[in-house]
Chains A and B, each alone.
Chain A
């Protein structure tokens, strides 16, 4: 049975409650922190020689598609009616959005230590201790818009610069790829100042706090952000039906990216699926 991922702004109060309840149950059972660990473990940067699957690589999109699917499967084992909603940050682009309500994601961090004080994920509620973290701090943090160097969320126009690309990705298949949909959406640039922040990366910066770090999955809004990234990719695929995942074949021995990126028919660790196998999601879920 195909299920539907909805825009978070369209969820009913009951749907919001059920999503939060399932997330909290995964946290309580320890399964949530396993997802945090997976994301940390598979973040390799492209200046090092490891295989990169999750970031700075062509498989950024299919890797996160599979990652979200596995998280959603875990949520649905708790409550079969729950799906991962998406956050369209070109539209709900202020701290006043219902996304940040007390019954859903909770609000911004407070001044000083940036601790989130409202909503189900506030430390004082007792349900959301940070156990897999970069620092010793045990509480969720956010710093909307980075007041020290103010920045806005990506605009629809900014996003359209990515979706206007007609090729999936390009050599050298990393954070320096100048053309292609993948890096334009992932958001790595050579620019200076706030212009260096694009799309996916810029959203991590705007939320700030833990969302900026390697353990960004500790902020449950991570899933809503990546659900929207996946939606944007899905719509781009429909608009560009002939633009398949690249590279189609592995970079040859002796080339700079040999064994460092995943080709179309190679598995994406820790998952056993290939980019080709997750290219079409319509038999599993669709976006409303």
Chain B
């Protein structure tokens, strides 16, 4: 999957934020092709520095990047997954709302476990179709 593909599916208001995030990745390397390698890691590649991740998990493309502030930007097949933080550490998502996980990656994988073949809703507020 190319970098452009998930970007094209992003919400307009998220696009600017994400472009700048991917731009950071691009500048860390010498060219676009290398940036592609950096953001498309094989399944089981595990967490990146800073808690970011980009992998295939149970057939779904999951990506996570630290976002401005203390937030975290998570996608499943390019679609935003709202990540909430728990007091004292830990993360939860609107798919799996009654427990928390130690890392954004663990919370995202748990959400995929529950999603099965379902696609996240686009245009979601608090992670839910309005």
- State the A residues within 8 Å of B (CB): 37, 40-41, 43-48, 56, 112-114, 131-137, 148, 172, 174-176, 187, 196-197, 200-201, 204-205, 208, 212-216
Contacts and interface: CB of A to CB of B under 8 A. Distances in A.
Nearest to A192: B102
Contact of B97 (A43, A131, A135, A148): A43
B1 interface: no
B84 A48 contact: yes
Given A46-B86, A137-B118, 16 more contacts: A41-B125, A41-B126, A45-B92, A47-B87, A112-B116, A135-B115, A136-B129, A137-B119, A148-B113, A172-B87, A174-B87, A187-B98, A204-B97, A212-B95, A214-B127, A215-B128
A1 to B, nearest CB: 36
Given A47-B87, A212-B98, A131 B118 contact: no
B79 to A, nearest CB: 9
Contacts of B122: 136
Most chain B beta carbons < 10 A, residue from A40, A46, A47: A47
Interface string B87-122: 111111011111110000000000001111111111
Interface residues of B, number: 33
B68 interface: no
Contacts of B127: 134, 214
B126 A136 contact: no
Contacts of A212: 95-98, 114
B99 A136 contact: no
A41 B130 CA distance: 10
B33 interface: no
A124 B20 CA distance: 45
B45 interface: no
Contacts of A208: 114
Contact of B129 (A132, A172, A174, A176): A132
Contacts, number: 104
Contact of B86 (A45, A112, A214, A215): A45
8 closest cross-chain pairs (CB), A and B: A47-B85, A214-B94, A45-B84, A135-B118, A46-B87, A201-B98, A204-B98, A40-B128
B128 A47 contact: no
A44 B87 CA distance: 11
8 contacts: A40-B125, A45-B84, A132-B128, A134-B124, A137-B119, A175-B86, A196-B99, A201-B98
Nearest to A190: B88
B111 to A, nearest CB: 9
A135 B100 CA distance: 20
Contact of B130 (A132, A187, A196, A205): A132
Contacts of A46: 86-87
A48 B118 contact: no
A247 to B, nearest CB: 16
A113 B117 CA distance: 7
Given A47-B86, A137-B118, A37 B130 contact: yes
A40 B88 CA distance: 23
A40 B117 CA distance: 23
Given A114-B116, A197-B99, A45 B85 contact: yes
A248 B128 CA distance: 34
Nearest to B118: A135
A172 B115 CA distance: 33
Contacts of A214: 94-95, 97, 126-128
Most chain A beta carbons < 10 A, residue from B87, B100, B114, B122: B87
A205 B99 contact: yes
Contacts of B118: 113, 135-137
